[in-house]
Amino acid sequence: MNNRMRALALGLLGASAMAVPAFAVDLDITCRCVIGGVNSATAQWLEEKVIPAFEAANPDINVTLNQFGGEDAQLTQQLALDFSTGAGPDISAFDGFLIPAFAAGGQLKSLDELIGEEYANWEGWDHISDGIRSIMSYDGQTYGIGLGTDVRMIFLRKDLMEKAGLPADWQPASWADVLDAARKLKEAGVEAPLQLNAGVAMGEATTMQGYWMALLGTGEGVTDENGKFIVESQGILDVLNLYKTVYVDEGLGDQRAQLLADGRNRSFANFRDGKTAMLVEGDWFYRSVTAPGAEFAVEDRDNVMSWAKMPAQEPGAAIRDQDFVSISGGTGFVINPNTDTPMEAWKLLSFMMSQEQMTAFQEFQPGIRSRSDVAIPDNPFLTETSQTLLPLTTARPNDPNYNAVSQEIQRMTEAVVSGELSPEEAMAQYKAAVIGVVGEENTVSLL
Amino acid sequence: MTTEPLSTPPKRKARNFALLSNRAGAAFMLPAGLLVSVFVIIPFFWVIFVSFTNRTLIGPTALNPQFVGLGNYLALFDPATFFQRGQFGFSLILTTQFVLASALIGQALLGLLLAWLIQTVPAWVKRITETFVIAAWILPEVVIGFAWFAFLDYDNGTFNMLLESIGLPPGDFLLQQPFWVIVVFNTWRGAAFSMMLFNSAFSSIPPSYFQAADVAGASSWQKFRDIGLPLIRGHIVTDLILITMWTFNTFTPFLLTNGGPSYRTELVSIYNYRVAFQDFQFGKGAAVGVIMMLINLAFALVYLRLGRKKVPKS
């Protein structure tokens, strides 16, 4: 560039810098939330509480909420592409299990790198336990702030259980008990008694709410104690055979819901409409999906719905020799590494996660919050489940390859529930695929 | 323009900027050339380069991709997994069947039939038929994708309502027969092009040929076989090559089935999208892209060769 060109460029830069008034900072925030749709409470909380209060306190910052109505996997796809090309919202909702893959791929910057001292001095960290903080962390670095955590269980429809002659306080002790109950429900005329998520369309819900919940009951995990991915084992076969029994051999679940593109909503509708009596899901299902006013609201929820602990395959056979299992994850918010205004974005993020705003969120959707100074609302369901299940729970591996392996798990289960492959064939395909993703040296066979 | 400027020294020529000179031509080409190189040529070589690495969008190999040589290609053509569901070979075979069934048999034959039939019908019937067929072709893909999805839905779909209203059992087509659904869909969608092409081809045949045949007492089938078909042979070749290429690359069935259930409608274009943008494996996805480019190149070469060669008339 010659001098004249340089002067021109500088001049243009200067002019455009002057043209934008110094006080106008625009922040975008995205979540998979739509008022009146999915995660409506989150959208309402942001739109009605957080943004007005934040804008009042910071008149120089305008905040816009982008309501994303697609699937989880579609938002992941969008964020991966946005964050790698310098586009995207300043702040986004984010599922904790994706942090390692994004961080290792350079699509996220740690808060330390992005914000520095101000992040480290945030008052909130004193009220967030290390366990909760680790949900949004990888390799010793923190990448976002979590909203809270969750636990998983079997949701029950008491009215259908009664119809099938099952006790009001039904609690299975083994997979056999679950299957027996499903058979009784089927005999009593319940269309699709049991829902254990499978398939590609449900995305991470398949891995987390279906496969994991069964696999933990066999005493195994997706990785072994050295962090190697298990690609062949009796546990995997037992889980796949359980799927086969439920969806292929005995028709105890709605096979179509596992295969159709909108299967997850279909499975929610089945529960709402009394076609499914037992559904393995996270407490989000109670807090958000079936809550009054939601699309899949269960009428008279607190009398109709109850829950049971997910049993081990046989008593004592689960990981850590437990009789029952659960797995926890967590979601939160991250800052776009390419944001022009990281300090303002941090201001908003930490404001959202302040005690005042977190407490306000409880009014929209009560839950187990990340901050210890935000009380768990006086809700028997949340108190009981968190007290019972948090001591039993586990977490997914904090591994940058986990997301890719999880997709292979979804494919493996789909191959079985569609009846296209036998459990052995599906596991062989899974083995080949996972070796392709992580390399043979990071896998292990237990057969 | 005289020949004068040619004899002047080059220096002077440069000052007198002539609108028809090579230099001016080059200047006019420059903006377009820059755009083409930025958006076509560089990405072309970039994709070839990426296909030799294990680059991913997220995860450890996003920041530090390694050169894997022909690794991605060898993995795609690994004989142990080639024909498995969800693998490259499976979608390649599926695509071949899809092209045969929906493009060659479906679109070309239906288009030919429609074009022949509307030659003799009253003008208003011809216009209405053309309007409907072309509407299927020009409507935006997202709209028709959604419309077909709603049409075929098991629980509330229009098609099952129609079946039930005449006493037939409802069908779960998107789940049970996904391949045939996308074949019918693509035939419906693309028959318009063949119809228009053959329509104009038939119209170019002098009416006197058919009048003479009528006098000789030829049936409609004889006229079609002995007059219509031989005279539009060149058009048929053009049509087949073009729709083969388009159908090979089409992505629209994704809107109906997402490539599923269980990969049963995962055409190569959808396979490519899945590998690159759902699994985020850019290296492998680029390798699939390169193979697709080569296949398209082969189609294009055949097309260009046939286009240059004068098709012999029988």
Q: Would you state the pLDDT for residue B15?
A: 57
Structure tokens at B121: 């019908």
Q: Would you state the pLDDT for residue B314?
A: 45
Write the DSSP string, A383-429.
HHHHHHHGGGEEE----TTHHHHHHHHHHHHHHHHTTSS-HHHHHHH
Q: Would you state the pLDDT for residue A154?
A: 96
Is residue B79 reached through a cis peptide bond, with omega within 30 degrees of 0 on the bond before it? no
Phi, psi dihedrals of residue A36, rounded to the nearest 5°:
85, 0
Say whether residue A414 is in contact with chain B using an 8 A CB cutoff.
yes
Q: Using pLDDT thresholds of 50, 70 and 90, give the confidence band for residue B34.
A: very high
Q: Would you state the pLDDT for residue B1?
A: 43
> B58 and A418 in contact by Cβ < 8 A?
no
List, in order, residues 6 or more apart from A299 with CB less than 8 Å away: none
pLDDT over threshold 90, residue A307: yes
CB contacts < 8 Å between A and B, how many?
Answer: 77
Q: Would you state the pLDDT for residue B20?
A: 79
Give the closest of B84, B262, B279 to A404, CB-based. B279
> A84 and B75 in contact by Cβ < 8 A?
no
Q: Would you state the pLDDT for residue B262?
A: 81
Q: What mean pLDDT do residues A120-133 have?
A: 88
Structure tokens at A317: 């056979």
pLDDT over threshold 60, residue A81: yes
Q: What mean pLDDT do residues A284-304 have?
A: 89
- Give the Å distances, CA to CA, from A183 to A174, A213, A232, A244, A416: 15, 20, 30, 14, 20
Q: What mean pLDDT do residues A388-408 have?
A: 91
Give B36-84 pLDDT, tens digit per residue. Answer: 989 989 999 999 999 999 898 888 888 888 899 898 999 899 888 888 8
A contacts of B257 (beta carbons < 8 Å) = 261
Give A170-180 pLDDT, tens digit per residue. Answer: 999 999 999 99
Best of B58, B82, B88, B279 to substitute, by most chain A Cβ atoms within 10 angstroms, is: B58
Spatial distance between the Cα atoms of A154 and B284, rounded to a whole number of angstroms:
39
Q: Would you state the pLDDT for residue B170?
A: 84
Give B100-159 pLDDT, tens digit per residue. Answer: 999 989 999 999 988 888 888 888 988 898 888 888 888 888 888 888 888 988 888 889
Spatial distance between the Cα atoms of A137 and A131, rounded to a whole number of angstroms:
10
Specify whether the CB–CB gap between A92 and A333 falls below 8 A.
Answer: yes
Residue A120 exposed, middle or buried by CB count within 10 Å (0-12, 13-18, 19+): exposed
- The answer to which of A252-266, A416-430, B66-80, B300-314 has the lowest mean pLDDT is B300-314
pLDDT over threshold 90, residue A54: yes
Nearest residue on chain A to B261, alpha-carbon basis = A259
Give B168-184 pLDDT, tens digit per residue. Answer: 888 888 888 899 999 99
B contacts of A73 (beta carbons < 8 Å) = 278
Best of A98, A200, A420, A435 to substitute, by most chain B Cβ atoms within 10 angstroms, is: A200
Q: Would you state the pLDDT for residue A1?
A: 46
Q: What is the largest CA-CA distance in chain A?
A: 88
Residues 40-79 in A contacting B (C-alpha not used; CB under 8 Å): 73, 77
- Give the Å distances, CA to CA, from A432 to A57, A230, B115, B218, B272: 55, 12, 50, 63, 19
List, in order, residues 6 or more apart from B7 with CB less than 8 Å away: none
Q: Would you state the pLDDT for residue A217?
A: 95
Q: What mean pLDDT do residues A282-296 have?
A: 88
Q: Using pLDDT thresholds of 50, 70 and 90, give the confidence band for residue A386.
A: confident
Across chain A, what does the average pLDDT equal? 90
Residue A187 exposed, middle or buried by CB count within 10 Å (0-12, 13-18, 19+): exposed
Nearest to A259 by CA among B279, B175, B274: B175
ipTM score over 0.90, yes or no: no
> A260 and B63 in contact by Cβ < 8 A?
no
CB atoms within 10 A of CB A394: 16
Give the closest of B81, B257, B279 to A432, CB-based. B81
List, in order, residues 6 or more apart from B78 with CB less than 8 Å away: none
Q: Would you state the pLDDT for residue A255?
A: 92
Give the closest of A77, A261, A420 to B278, CB-based. A77
Give the closest of A105, A106, A429 to B84, CB-based. A429
Nearest residue on chain B to A81, alpha-carbon basis = B57
Give A11-33 pLDDT, tens digit per residue. Answer: 555 555 444 445 689 999 999 99
Say whether residue A306 is in contact with chain B using an 8 A CB cutoff.
no
